[in-house]
């Protein structure tokens, strides 16, 4: 038997564990510092109610489907996904409102009714452009091995044309400005940079494909809450014979023994291979205890963080408060990115994202109130940063929500987390939500690959490794790490 130790039980580590458990001759052990699985897909409890504290939107279900099918299961029999109506509501500057529907054609009609015929034409053109990027980029930058400049040169003419279609030599903002003149619609598309914590002023236009993933392929609700995805992966792993050890922090990783050695708070585990489902900076700065270099690099400055609240809010109808809402600032939205990336301070007038858990994911609230998750983007934690008065910032956020009529005066905050709290919970992350920001034209080539370059038996599966942050990409990172491990260790595909 070949033994694999997975360090971390986030969705990337669990996806790797599930896929490895389907391979004969492989024994898998998952070690996790926390007392439950899920990583950033976490939960908290208040007054008998469980609510998600991490990702709130589920996209690219085919990635999860692939993991589930590796165990011979059918996704629809294991987890209920559904399309809320509307999927998203954007409250734009100037008082305009745009609802995103489950069907792209209906969203286009909503754009026409709310923003006008010209904006509807710009919407259709941009979505076609976004789809073209996704279909060109996904095979090379998401679903396969980490790309390199050398691998790009080896591609055939057809693939090279596809790579030209990803528009990597333009910035997100420049590509949007070229195609969209309506200010509110422009802000909606600019916001997709925040889906991986990047700056649209310098991130490659390739990231405009996120609009197609979100509105074209579509976003889903998860019956019971996003944490159900992590629980499903845990169950499939255990059913496959994976040993999941919780509340067992890892102290170090090094070569030795059967190939690799993992020291935990409970003892030493020898393994033929290790899958790191942790921030790559945690491996580099804290866990690697070997003179032999691993060759792993962090991949660039960290992405944005978040200031998060959960409000115990008086329940409202779906028309009054849909599952997902975004409240844009009244001023220039680009000022938010200047604050985050130039000033490295929380936005003075933050755009706020709200997730009403009951409507977005059919999760259970209190008798008369519902959990309302609120997020404002914030800079990652850096040395020498000015201290932020988060108590005052919370009051600013709540005042904006109250002024927009999205909460009531007696609604109370029952859970909160600052970027510093996120950094402490996930060592090495510096509070970033998505690993490294994609703030250069070569960012697709700079993310750490799923196989450590200089150490046999060391693999990476997280949002800070290829292909990047976000729930489906983290799971895909775990799948890719498992595939490469199997090929190396067992000579399989």
pLDDT digits (tens, 9 = 90+) for 457-491: 999 999 999 998 899 999 999 999 999 999 998 87
Find tokens 């944490």 and name the residue: 227
- DSSP letter, residue 385: P
CB-CB neighbours of 153 under 10 Å: 8
- In sign, the C-alpha dihedral spanning 321, 322, 323, 327 is negative
Residues 47-83 pLDDT 10s: 999 999 999 999 999 999 999 999 999 999 999 999 9
Asked if 197 and 469 touch (Cβ cutoff 8 Å), the reply is: yes
**Cα separation of 200 and 185, whole Å?**
15
Report the pLDDT averaged over residues 176-190: 97
Q: Where are the beta strands (DSSP E) in 322-397?
A: 324-327, 352-356, 369-378
- In sign, the C-alpha dihedral spanning 84, 14, 306, 401 is positive
Query: Model's pTM, two decimal places?
Result: 0.94
- DSSP letter, residue 101: P
CB-CB neighbours of 349 under 10 Å: 17
Residues 221-259 pLDDT 10s: 999 999 999 999 999 999 999 999 999 999 999 999 899
20: tokens are 């490895």
Nearest Cα neighbor of 45 from 357, 325, 426 is 357
Poorest-pLDDT segment among 125-129, 150-154, 301-305: 150-154
pLDDT of residue 313: 98
Residues 265-294 pLDDT 10s: 999 999 999 999 999 999 999 999 999 999
Find tokens 């190939």 and name the residue: 259
Residues 312-350 pLDDT 10s: 999 998 889 999 999 999 899 999 999 999 999 999 999
Residues 139-175 pLDDT 10s: 878 888 866 655 555 555 455 555 667 888 899 999 9
Report the pLDDT averaged over residues 408-436: 96
Per the rule left: phi > 0, alpha: psi between -120 and 50, beta: everything else, 46 is: beta
**Distance set, CA 144 to CA 180, 211, 261, 383, 450 (Å):** 32, 21, 28, 35, 10
**Cα separation of 352 and 179, whole Å?**
25
**Burial 194-206, CB ≥16 within 10 A → b, else e:** bbbbbbbbbbbbb
Nearest Cα neighbor of 419 from 302, 279, 283 is 302
End-to-end Cα spacing for the chain: 18
User: Strands 81-82 and 88-91, how do they pair?
Assistant: unpaired
For each of the domains in the chain, give its residue range(s) and CATH number, in order of start.
Answer: 2-41+60-72+225-301+437-490 (3.50.50.60), 105-214 (no CATH)
**492: pLDDT confidence band, cut at 50, 70 and 90?**
low
- DSSP letter, residue 282: H
Share of the chain above pLDDT 90, in %: 85
**Three-state secondary structure of 129-166:** HHHHHHHHHHHHHHCCCCCCHHHHHCCCHHHHHHHHCC
Report the pLDDT averaged over residues 440-455: 85
- Assess whether pLDDT exceeds 60 at residue 96: yes
Share of the chain above pLDDT 70, in %: 95
- In sign, the C-alpha dihedral spanning 371, 376, 352, 390 is positive
């Amino acid at each position: 038997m070949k033994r694999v130790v997975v360090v971390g039980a986030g969705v990337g580590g669990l996806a790797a564990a599930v896929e490895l458990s389907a391979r004969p001759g492989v024994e898998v052990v998952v070690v996790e510092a926390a007392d439950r699985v899920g990583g950033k897909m976490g939960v908290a409890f208040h007054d008998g109610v469980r609510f998600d504290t991490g990702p709130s939107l589920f996209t690219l279900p085919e990635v999860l489907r692939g993991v589930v099918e590796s165990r011979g299961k059918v996704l629809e029999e294991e987890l209920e996904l559904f399309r809320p109506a509307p999927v998203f509501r954007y409250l734009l500057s100037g008082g305009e409102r745009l609802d995103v529907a489950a069907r792209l054609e209906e969203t286009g009609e909503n754009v026409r009714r709310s923003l006008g015929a010209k904006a509807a034409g710009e919407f259709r053109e941009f979505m076609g452009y976004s789809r073209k990027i996704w279909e060109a980029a996904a095979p090379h930058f998401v679903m396969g091995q980490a790309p390199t400049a050398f691998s790009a040169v080896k591609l055939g003419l057809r693939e090279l044309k596809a790579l030209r279609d990803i528009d990597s030599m333009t910035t997100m903002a420049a590509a949007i400005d070229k195609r969209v003149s309506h200010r509110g619609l422009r802000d909606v598309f600019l916001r997709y940079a925040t889906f991986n914590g990047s700056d649209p002023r310098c991130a490659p236009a390739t990231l405009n494909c996120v609009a197609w993933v979100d509105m074209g392929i579509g976003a889903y609700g998860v019956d019971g809450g996003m944490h159900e995805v992590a629980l499903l992966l845990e169950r499939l792993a255990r059913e496959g014979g994976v040993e999941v050890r919780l509340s067992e922090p890892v102290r170090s990783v090094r070569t030795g023994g059967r190939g690799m050695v993992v020291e935990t708070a409970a003892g030493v585990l020898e393994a033929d291979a290790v899958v790191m489902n942790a921030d790559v900076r945690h491996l580099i700065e804290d866990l690697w205890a070997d003179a032999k270099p691993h060759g792993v690099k962090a991949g660039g400055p960290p992405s944005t963080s978040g200031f998060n609240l959960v409000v115990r809010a008086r329940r409202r109808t779906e028309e009054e408060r849909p599952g997902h809402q975004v409240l844009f600032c009244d001023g220039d939205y680009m000022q938010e990115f200047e604050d985050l990336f130039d000033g490295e301070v929380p936005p003075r007038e933050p755009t706020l994202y709200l997730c009403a858990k009951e409507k977005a994911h059919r999760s259970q609230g209190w008798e008369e109130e519902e959990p309302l998750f609120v997020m404002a983007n914030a800079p990652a934690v850096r040395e020498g940063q000015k201290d932020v008065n988060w108590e005052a910032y919370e009051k600013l956020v709540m005042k904006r929500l109250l002024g927009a009529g999205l909460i009531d005066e007696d609604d109370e905050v029952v859970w909160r987390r600052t970027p510093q709290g996120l950094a402490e919970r996930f060592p090495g992350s510096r509070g970033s939500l998505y690993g490294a920001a994609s703030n250069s034209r070569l960012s697709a080539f700079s993310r750490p690959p799923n196989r450590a370059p200089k150490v046999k038996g060391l693999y990476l599966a997280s949002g800070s490794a290829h292909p990047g942050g976000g729930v489906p990409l983290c799971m895909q990172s775990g799948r890719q790490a498992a595939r490469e491990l199997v090929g190396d260790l067992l000579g399989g595909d």
